[in-house]
Structure 1
Amino acid sequence: MMPAHETYDVIVIGAGAGGMTAAAVAATEGLRVLVIEKTAFVGGTTAWSGGMVWIPGNSKMKEAGLSDSVTDAVQYLSSTVPEPANAGLRAAFLARGPEAVAWLEANTAVRLQPVKACPDYYPERLGATSGGRVLEPVAFDGTRLGKAFARLRPPLPEFTRFGGMMVNPLDIPHFRRAGKSLRSTVRAAWLVSAYALQRLRSPRGTTLHLGNALAARLYASLLARQVEILFSADVEDLSMQGDRVAGVVIRHGSRDRLIAARRGVVLATGGFSHDASLRKRFFPPAAGFVSATSTAGTGDGLRLAATAGAALNTEATSPAYWVPASLFRRADGSRGVFPHMVTDRAKPGVIAVNAAGRRFVNEALSYHEFVLAMLRDGNGKPDRPFHLICDRQFLWSYGLGRIKPFTRNVRRYVASGELIEAPDIERLAASIGVKPTALAATVANYNVDAKDGRDPEFGRGSTTYQRHLGDIGHKPNPCVAPILRAPFFAMRIHPADLGTAIGMRVDAQARVLREDGTPVAGLYACGNDMGSIMNGNYPGPGIMLGPALTFGYVAGRHLAEGRVIREMAKEQA
């Protein structure tokens, strides 16, 4: 074994939300930290995400006048995560999640605010809340990163405007009402002007929102503490001293390097969404091979942990968190994956149909439940087609997939095959390989009740969550309207994952465990490298980032405990 020429207290593998949280906490506690990132950017999938963080009982709720309690959260989780597996980790999450938020806000650049009107995904269940458990990152000025801004993973271009402008979700209605409302017109004009000035100094907008703001805030925290980040480096192996993880062997450039870790290594590599062999092993056949995550998530953490004797937590009702997605080609030839989360499916005037041309789901359910319905309907066939169907009025008002509202010319989307157009429902059916009479009957039956805002077949718009995603200005049901105005459109959607739920088994201190339940000394995991504490269930928005930040914090604090204890002893002496 080659001798170590570099030594740190803590090595973190992966610069997503979980990994950067662990690194920021350990560094703030006085430890020397190295972050190893396989790509050229920090942020991982977090930088592409909505940045929602689900933390029941957080102090921000109380400050906003919203009530919550551990009892309510336990009651809610008992029905949405009914399996007994990982109950101890859920209890640890509920106990330490609010602590993590308070600590991060007091000691780092992380700033979060409650989303007051963002219901849990099953609002009819006991213990659910209508908002506040979900926290979102406060907007961040990217210029604060200086030259390091270039190292922050950009958001997906489909979620920006004008070639790089991020928009706060609260400002989207202003863009829709621009030209109709003086207040909205002034607000939209101010935002665009500010963006234009930013582009004079930067290749993209520097006012950051959503997951890009969260990633930037964590990155700023690392930079402020002079945490070293090694980019474009692959970890080849863990270095062991007996049964203890003592460092890593990395490939950086053309040579291998052994880097020692006095206290431990944190695995936060993002799960295995892009590893074909692990997907085949754990995913249902009907899931196919579409993922809305960063391509860096290839199971590195799981493979490294296995060499140290770590156990996998496979007790998950679902191996992944799901979202329906449409596929397309960008101008540069790269494949785009658009996750249909909240922008179109629940709006009035669109339905989802299966290969038989029939509706198979309440379109306004959570994206996870929507795909579970796709997988059930798919009956084990990975290429079974599903489509969203709408008319020209819907496409103009709400957009579809990456096609934004008020798009005047959709020719390029039709020409590429991303959007299918036809003058009537029968010809639309023929274009997507569905029996014309079947699709015509489906649309006609839906329209009979939709004109009165009703959906007796699936009850669309029947919960506060579904209505929250609809169009509040559409009466009487914000989620239901008939499909009437030619031309008609279809867009194919696929089951896709937002992250994997199967990962390493850990304890309440985020320490990786062996099959016999004993911890692997010096090895920790968080984020999607850690097995899902929700067992693959999806109770609310941000249930990946909430545990990622919490257990990243827990790992960082536990790694620093020995140092804190020694310093306290010195002070007492």
Structure 2
Amino acid sequence: METLVIEKTDKIGGTTAYSGGGVWVPCNHLQAQQGISDSPQDAATYINAIVKEGAPASTPARRAAYLEFSPKMAQFLHEQGFEWNLDLPYPDYHALEPGASLTSRSISPAPFDLKTLSGNWQSQLRRPTDWRPVVTSVEARSPLRLGASIGDFIKTAQLAVLRPLWAMMRGKKLAATGLALVARLLHTNLCLGTKFWTDAGLNQLLTSPAGDVVGALVERDGKVLKVQAKRGVILAAGGFARNPEMREQYLQKPTQTEWSLTAPEDRGDAIRAAMDVGADIALMKHAWWMPCLIDNGKPMLDVYARSFPHSIIVDQSGRRYFNESECYCDAGSNMLARNGETPSIHSWLILDSRHRRKYMLGQLLPGLTPRSSITSGFLYKGSTLGGLANPIGVDEHQLQETVNRFNKFALDGVDQDFRRGLNPYNKTFSDPSHRPNPNLGTIERGPFYAVKIYPGDIGTKGGLVTDERARVLNR
């Protein structure tokens, strides 16, 4: 049997190459190796608590199939030489739900030497658009809070300076997170004989008289080629986050491609091709929402800055409206829901001088706030909260009232409004050196700063409905 992968661009990796590279795999072999208890029953309890019975595109059989085969997938790749890490600690996103793991069910690739790839394959990998140190998602926590403690500073120096230096001395070129995931999968497939065509776009799916998909028309080098499939066609081409027409048709409003952190080519080609031959679709109004900051037209994901102490998010009336440390998808959903009541797109990330001294903000290093970041309109600055409120168009008295209330919570260590920092998942994105609550810190030391924050995304969720054997179902 021959396997052919077609990629419509000249780069392999798609949005995955920009990602943290994490894969949610309950009962994986790494948990067992580290003595972490997990069970299919607990994982099923968690899924059932999150995805309610009768939810679109979900059945008990499909959930059971995922729980059965995802650990087998991870083990199979391991046996082919794919090196995984257990992301520890990384609690489940909804860590207070029954069946949730408070340790980790997330695995990601170990850093990978790109020079392992033969020929020109290294140059054909899609690269992240921003500079990143060679760190795993878990290791990234220290660089993002570089100024918070001596321990974080030392750890950052080891990761960002000593690791690449040691790799260079050994003639290695290391990659981590999503780029490592793509590179390792590419390397594994090449070793197994998989063929790849780049600059080869899906034009149309071919069907038999009975309606089965038996191949595809592929556009390559200016020609349309007919590719017959003996064992099936797998569609693994993401969503439609960069397709403005599909966003307007399906997603919650307002919606902008400029807020998306996905690859530019994520335009729904596979979904539309399958719909053309009668495929059923579901969940098309949903996305993997990701609050983002925009600097000079470039969106930057915000997982940590909004979650660290000395910060809050307010709507355009100056009021808080959700737990800023909750998982990115829920945070984006809350921004969209709030906008139906009070203008909240954009919202404002409000922080004080201690946040700027200790933590990363977008691409700004701790303690470094160049004037250009303010003159460009990315960052707003005020010596007082009142002085900040006016230029951002927020009522001064309401903002002060919101901050005063929040500061009381920060001193007590308990967010009485939204329970921020009381969820194990929240603490994953916190400053453990801060007390009493690692996610809460008063906002009282000027100068004060504000940044526009939008409901960006890292991809759309909707797509083709399948059965428990991954077969696409007809409408």
Q: Same fold (TM over 0.5)?
A: yes
1:54 paired residue among 4, 8, 24: 24
- Where structure 1 has 5 or more consecutive residues not aligned to the other structure, the ranges are 1-30, 330-334, 516-573
Pairwise CA distance, 1:68: 0.8
Letter in 1 for 2:204: D
For 1:117, the equivalent position in structure 2 comes to 89
1:275 aligns with 2:243: yes
Task: Summarize the Cα distance change of 1:179–1:275 in structure 2 as closer, same or farther, 3 Å threshold.
Answer: closer
Pairwise CA distance, 1:494: 0.6
Cα deviation, 1:442-498, whole Å, max 9, x if unaligned, reads 112222332333322222111211122211111111011111121111111111122
1:441 paired residue among 378, 386, 401: 401
For 2:71, the equivalent position in structure 1 comes to 98
Contact 1:50 1:211 (8 Å CA) reproduced: yes
Contact 1:109 1:218 (8 Å CA) reproduced: no
For 2:474, the equivalent position in structure 1 comes to 514
Pairwise CA distance, 1:90: 1.1
Q: Distance in 1 between matches of 2:230 and 2:205?
A: 13
Contact 1:286 1:382 (8 Å CA) reproduced: no
Task: Summarize the Cα distance change of 1:311–1:192 in structure 2 as closer, same or farther, 3 Å threshold.
Answer: closer
Letter in 1 for 2:329: H
1:155 aligns with 2:141: no
Contact 1:250 1:257 (8 Å CA) reproduced: yes
For 2:41, the equivalent position in structure 1 comes to 71
Cα deviation, 1:143-198, whole Å, max 9, x if unaligned, reads 1013311111112315x14xxx5566426537937995696487354225236658
For 2:268, the equivalent position in structure 1 comes to 299
1:402 aligns with 2:363: yes
1:354 paired residue among 309, 315, 325: 315
Q: Secondary structure at the match of 1:251?
A: strand
For 1:503, the equivalent position in structure 2 comes to 463
Q: Distance in 1 between matches of 2:456 and 2:246?
A: 15
Q: Distance in 1 between matches of 2:66 and 2:287?
A: 19
For 1:313, the equivalent position in structure 2 comes to 282
Cα deviation, 1:336-386, whole Å, max 9, x if unaligned, reads 211112x22221110000010111111111111111211111018998320
Letter in 1 for 2:326: L
Pairwise CA distance, 1:412: 2.0
2:447 paired residue among 464, 487, 504: 487
Q: Secondary structure at the match of 2:228?
A: strand
Task: Summarize the Cα distance change of 1:382–1:259 in structure 2 as closer, same or farther, 3 Å threshold.
Answer: farther
Q: Secondary structure at the match of 1:355?
A: coil
Letter in 1 for 2:277: A
Q: Secondary structure at the match of 1:361?
A: coil
Q: Distance in 2 between matches of 1:76 and 1:270?
A: 25
For 1:384, the equivalent position in structure 2 comes to 345
1:133 paired residue among 105, 112, 130: 105
For 2:301, the equivalent position in structure 1 comes to 339
Contact 1:178 1:184 (8 Å CA) reproduced: no
Q: Distance in 1 between matches of 2:340 and 2:154?
A: 51
Contact 2:390 2:396 (8 Å CA) reproduced: yes
- Where structure 2 has 5 or more consecutive residues not aligned to the other structure, the ranges are none
1:369 aligns with 2:336: no
- Comparing 244-253 with 363-372, which one deviates more in the overlay? 244-253
Contact 2:87 2:138 (8 Å CA) reproduced: no
Higher relative contact order (CA 8 A, sep 6+): 1
Letter in 2 for 1:344: A
Q: Secondary structure at the match of 1:286?
A: coil
Q: Distance in 2 between matches of 1:351 and 1:185?
A: 26
Q: Distance in 1 between matches of 2:2 and 2:360?
A: 49
Q: Distance in 2 between matches of 1:179 and 1:373?
A: 32
Contact 2:26 2:67 (8 Å CA) reproduced: yes
Letter in 1 for 2:420: R
- Comparing 488-497 with 235-244, which one deviates more in the overlay? 235-244
RMSD: 2.5
Contact 1:287 1:382 (8 Å CA) reproduced: no
Contact 2:207 2:214 (8 Å CA) reproduced: yes
Over the matched positions of the two proteins, sequence identity in percent amounts to 31
Contact 2:411 2:436 (8 Å CA) reproduced: no
Task: Summarize the Cα distance change of 1:133–1:186 in structure 2 as closer, same or farther, 3 Å threshold.
Answer: closer
Cα deviation, 1:232-286, whole Å, max 9, x if unaligned, reads 2222112333223232222223322222222221111111111122212221113
Letter in 2 for 1:449: F
TM-score w.r.t. length of structure 2:
0.91
- Comparing 122-131 with 471-480, which one deviates more in the overlay? 122-131
Q: Distance in 1 between matches of 2:78 and 2:245?
A: 40
1:250 aligns with 2:223: no
